[in-house]
Structure 1
């Protein structure tokens, strides 16, 4: 096993960081690695906002659901799906690119491009001995996030990424079984096998939580996820996307 694979397999979310900022060289390395990710048709439909201002970070803590590690980290990145740049390209070249930009396909391309770039940034960060935590709570209050960071239309903040020196290393959380995720030639739909795999995974997750919390928590994965899905959240997203001139047709 080489160092890259070892780094990837050793991933876990870090929520407590040392009070030590990243250097400019580290930030540039992480962003440059993000830019080296694959991009559909070379469209490069994303932007990354680094947040250093202390007051803005404090406000982001509030907007993301009071997650203090949004403020207390080595550096905070906001990854954005960005089709504003391509609107400007159309104006520069005097071509009407808006119908394409407003399509569901190009919106999906922007989401995928951003996610690929972010994961490259994560692997780069972890290879430098840093820890990371994705912050989906950025999407709790997108209008306020856009105002705070002066983000134009056709740019959607998708998630934050807290990066820093780990103050505490957590246990690695077990993932779904390989056989449950990987299918060959067709999607496996044997329900007996499907439920057996889920039941086995439930047991491993329950043991993980029990060990991590000294018996205070024993919930199963399917229990946890079904309860999460019962709660409808961020249901304003379609309206927000359309308001930001990504009409999705």
Structure 2
């Protein structure tokens, strides 16, 4: 059993809300399903409420990344007798996750993420490719709803396409504000993201794909004909079996990839 951390006042600038409910913690650990030999990375361990049951369940190496330097001494005391817990003081947005993996197994990344870093951190982790085996995050419920949305729903947008191009996304369960100290004003949710071993709809140029997605969602109420004007015309969209009068939130990941690949093929002559 680890030592208990000293009391720490949550800091608004770090978006800190410390998970306290043991039932929710146990449910999260069951959802993650840590196994012996896993290489776990926890982002924002806070006061170690999730860290301890994770390392007890897995028994493998667990690396934690904490930005708040005032929490580091408490974590070092709490996990003094756990040589397989490695504590990093730093910004998770600046970590090189490929380097962190090294020659070991792919990383299983977990964390309770504040709203302000959730999207850029997901992008960074997705860019790490096969260095990441899966991700389990607690996020604002509205962010999880966007990640796991389906086409033609109100939540379907740029973040949905970005995540689902790379990963299978599963919204697991909602967490009440009562599970935290201090209580946030909104519900949270747990999401699982599992990167595809082979992309179901590979893009010739991923940067171009996400630029097309960005442009398409620039004005959600306008049609593709208008939002993609100057990049692809109505006749080309029709040739791709995509109605130019559709709105961007009705398109699937595969249809966005179809548009982006057509643009590459138009310039280079490359074919699928």
| TM-score after normalising by structure 2 | 0.28
Greater RCO, CA 8 A, separation 6+: 1
Q: TM-score under structure 1 normalisation?
A: 0.30
> Hey, which of these two has a bigger chunk of helix by percent?
1
Q: Which has the higher strand share?
A: 2
